[in-house]
């Protein structure tokens, strides 16, 4: 089999057009190709709008064809598939996974498939109930501290765009994508260079994933919160758990700690117990909102509106004169800005899109890099304190009720308060309060945004549009702390504790978190096999 990369096709091309393009690349007749499979596709809008594809093909005399075509984009192809570990006998003490975000879910799934009968603890509720809790918060401002955009089945990614982008090549990624499709995601994610599930389909995926964990002998306990750990001689022995039925002690020898980036009480407990943690860089800023049709015109130009052409997205970055990074994050085409608080009297924003991405606006995080040097102390949780201060300031400026402070770009750059929206209507719920964001953001963040927005506007026409809306504050782009683990065993200095995923500081997004969950599960299965 051969792989052909960088095939260019018109938007809306069918399999026949793909076969013809493959034939041209191989310098053979289309009839000589016995099999063709689309592997990857993306949209290139740099010089006109076209599809850029990769394909696998079978043709007679492949070696001769490869030699004759002399095409650097053609190479032998032998797809590699992830091979899960072998099944084991169920251990006397079940491994415990704390946190039902992507890392915890895929870790528990692999453990269950291999016979380990894991127990999955999640402080929030199942996605069916969680969805109701979140919608009530968005409509009324009534915040549930354990079931919200940050906590509950699916983690923070459940109320997002469901992006499955990855910048690395890992056999686990194909395995994860196939599972997403098996559980209800569109098959398009196996082909798209920038795949997304959509929050509406994630709702289905999560329920089906949970069912398989249970069907394979695992246990899922919702509204069960890790409150403390018991140790003996440097090793983990048990977890202390709070539940609706009361507090209890859960014996545990292998604990995967995948708490998510917002489990601040868990971080505080670990610090008290002497579990090594360290500060890590992250980013804070705002969500920026434009009309989707304006960004489509900026990217696609005359091709905007072409049937089969999806709503455009963007990925932008620059550096200020002081070296501060300013960049887009978690862009949600056709989406909305959502309230994502998990603590009382603190405003947090995030972005969300459904699979169709058919909303009026596009929004994305517009973030400024922060480092430990920006914090007032070197305490491991100084970044958490920094986040909280920004979220409290945003709550006060918003006027309470989890209304978010908002400002038009034109006014932000002029350092004057906005009095209302222009042509871009904000989507944030419960509501926004028009103001001057300089009153809640640190000066270095404001200065970086003031310098960065015009620079990004030169890269993408209209990004610095006067009527674009900035909504504050975006603080949960990644974890502000790393729970230290060994590179080989994936264990903490506290033996038996396996920090995992984005919250532990080892991932950045759904795919990398899920892959980290698989890696940790592999190590635990290896340990259990030799016990």
* Backbone φ, ψ for residue 109 (5° rounding): -65, -45
- Confidence grade of residue 162 (pLDDT, cut at 50, 70, 90): confident
Q: Tell me, what's the pLDDT at 104?
A: 98
Contacts 24+ apart (CB under 8 A), 226-232: 226/98, 226/121, 226/123, 226/259, 226/266, 226/269, 227/269, 228/269, 228/273, 229/255, 229/269, 229/270, 229/273, 229/494, 229/497, 231/273, 231/494
Q: Tell me, what's the pLDDT at 497?
A: 98
Instruction: Give residue-wise pLDDT tens across range 342-388.
Output: 999 999 999 999 999 999 999 999 999 999 999 989 999 999 999 99
Is pLDDT of 155 > 90? yes
- Confidence grade of residue 114 (pLDDT, cut at 50, 70, 90): very high
CATH fold of 2-76: Alpha-Beta Plaits (3.30.70)
Of 16-25, 166-175, 182-191, 250-259, give the lowest mean pLDDT range: 166-175
- Stretch 315-334: mean pLDDT: 96
Non-local (6+) Cβ contacts of 30 within 8 A are: 19, 20, 22, 23
- Stretch 159-179: mean pLDDT: 89
Q: CA-to-CA distance for 363 and 327, rounded, in angstroms?
A: 13
Q: Tell me, what's the pLDDT at 122?
A: 98
Pairing state of beta strands 277-279 and 349-352?
unpaired
Instruction: Give residue-wise pLDDT tens across range 127-146.
Output: 999 999 999 999 999 999 99
Q: Tell me, what's the pLDDT at 210?
A: 98
DSSP structure class, residue 495: B
Q: Tell me, what's the pLDDT at 244?
A: 97
From the list 361, 396, 379, 527, the residue with the least C-alpha distance to 473 is: 396
Domain boundaries, the chain: 2-76, 96-278+481-529, 281-474
* Beta strand spans in 428-515 (E): 432-434, 469-474, 481-483, 497-499
Is pLDDT of 167 > 80? no
From the list 253, 279, 224, 260, the residue with the least C-alpha distance to 497 is: 253
* Backbone φ, ψ for residue 338 (5° rounding): -125, 150
Is pLDDT of 161 > 90? no
Calculate the average pLDDT of the chain: 96
CATH fold of 96-278+481-529: FAD/NAD(P)-binding domain (3.50.50)
As a whole-number percent, the residues of the chain with pLDDT over 90 amount to 94
Is pLDDT of 510 > 90? yes
DSSP structure class, residue 76: E
Q: Tell me, what's the pLDDT at 203?
A: 94
Is 206 buried (19+), middle (13-18) or exposed (0-12) by CB count in 10 A?
Answer: buried
User: What global pTM score does this model have?
Assistant: 0.96
């Amino acid at each position: 089999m051969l792989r052909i990369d960088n095939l260019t096709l018109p938007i809306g091309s069918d399999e026949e057009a793909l076969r013809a393009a493959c034939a041209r690349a191989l310098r053979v007749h289309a009839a000589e190709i016995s099999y063709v499979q689309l592997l990857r596709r993306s949209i290139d809008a740099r010089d006109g709008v076209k599809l850029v594809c990769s394909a696998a093909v079978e043709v007679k005399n492949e070696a001769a064809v490869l030699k004759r075509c002399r095409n650097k984009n053609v190479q032998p192809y032998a797809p590699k598939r992830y091979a899960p570990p072998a099944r084991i006998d169920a251990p006397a003490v079940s491994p415990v996974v704390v946190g039902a975000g992507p890392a915890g879910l895929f870790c528990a799934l692999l453990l269950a498939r291999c016979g380990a009968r894991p127990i999955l603890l999640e402080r929030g509720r199942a996605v069916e109930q969680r969805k109701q809790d979140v919608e009530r918060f968005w409509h009324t401002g009534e915040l549930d501290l354990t079931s919200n955009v940050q906590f509950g089945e699916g983690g923070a990614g459940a109320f997002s765009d469901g992006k499955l982008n990855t910048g690395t090549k890992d056999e686990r990624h194909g395995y994860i994508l196939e599972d997403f499709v098996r559980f209800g995601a569109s098959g398009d994610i196996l082909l798209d260079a920038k795949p997304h599930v959509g929050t509406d389909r994630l709702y289905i995926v999560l329920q089906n994933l949970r069912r398989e964990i249970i069907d394979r002998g695992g246990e899922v306990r919702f509204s069960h919160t890790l409150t403390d750990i018991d140790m003996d001689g440097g090793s983990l022995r048990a977890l202390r758990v709070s539940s609706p039925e009361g507090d209890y002690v859960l014996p545990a020898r292998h604990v995967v700690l995948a708490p998510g980036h917002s489990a601040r009480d868990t971080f505080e407990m670990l610090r008290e117990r002497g579990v090594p943690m360290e500060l890590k860089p992250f980013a804070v800023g705002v969500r920026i909102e434009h009309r989707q049709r304006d960004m489509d015109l900026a990217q696609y130009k005359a091709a905007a509106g072409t049937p089969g052409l999806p709503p455009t997205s963007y990925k932008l970055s620059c550096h200020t004169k002081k070296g501060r990074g300013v960049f887009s994050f978690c862009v949600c085409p056709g989406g909305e800005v959502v309230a994502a608080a998990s603590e009382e009297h603190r405003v947090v924003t995030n972005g969300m899109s459904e699979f169709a991405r058919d909303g009026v606006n596009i929004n994305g995080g517009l973030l400024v890099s922060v480092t430990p040097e920006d914090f007032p102390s070197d305490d491991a949780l100084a970044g958490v304190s920094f986040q909280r201060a920004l979220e409290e300031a945003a709550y006060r400026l918003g006027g309470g009720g989890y209304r978010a402070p908002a400002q038009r770009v034109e006014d932000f750059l002029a350092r004057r308060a906005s009095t209302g929206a222009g042509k871009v209507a904000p989507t944030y719920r419960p509501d926004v309060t028009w103001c001057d964001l300089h009153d809640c953001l640190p000066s270095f963040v404001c200065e970086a945004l003031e310098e960065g927005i015009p620079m990004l506007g030169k890269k993408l026409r209209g990004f610095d549009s006067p009527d674009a809306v900035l909504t504050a504050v975006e603080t949960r782009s990644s974890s502000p702390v790393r729970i230290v683990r060994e590179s080989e065993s994936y264990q903490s200095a506290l033996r038996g504790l396996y920090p995992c995923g984005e919250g532990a500081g080892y991932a950045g997004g759904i795919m990398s978190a899920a892959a980290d969950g698989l890696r940790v599960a592999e190590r635990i299965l290896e340990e259990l096999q030799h016990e």
